[in-house]
């Protein structure tokens, strides 16, 4: 291993006698209506113990003319 590494030990992945922690997943969604359409975005996070993981983030624009398609 290199002399310096970023990150943390994944205690929840190491086999030990303590019960496995459960992960709580949450999705946050937001949208903003514009004259030409709607901007939507979402962020999915998982929390294991006191650590929050950013699992996925998405965003996109749907123009007013595309809504019916």
pLDDT in tens, 34-58: 999 999 999 999 998 888 999 999 9
Q: Which residues contact 18 (CB under 8 A, 6 or more apart)?
A: none
**pLDDT at site 12:** 67
Q: Which of 61, 1, 10 is nearest to 33 (CA)?
A: 61
Per the CB < 8 A criterion, the answer to whether 41 and 55 are in contact is no
Which of 30 and 10 is assigned the larger pLDDT? 30
């Amino acid at each position: 291993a290199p002399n310096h590494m970023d990150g943390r030990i994944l205690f929840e992945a190491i086999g030990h006698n303590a019960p496995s922690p459960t992960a709580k997943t949450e999705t946050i969604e937001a949208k903003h209506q514009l004259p030409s359409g709607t901007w939507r975005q979402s962020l999915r996070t998982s929390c294991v113990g006191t650590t929050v993981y950013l699992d996925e983030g998405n965003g996109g624009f749907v123009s007013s003319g595309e809504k019916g398609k």
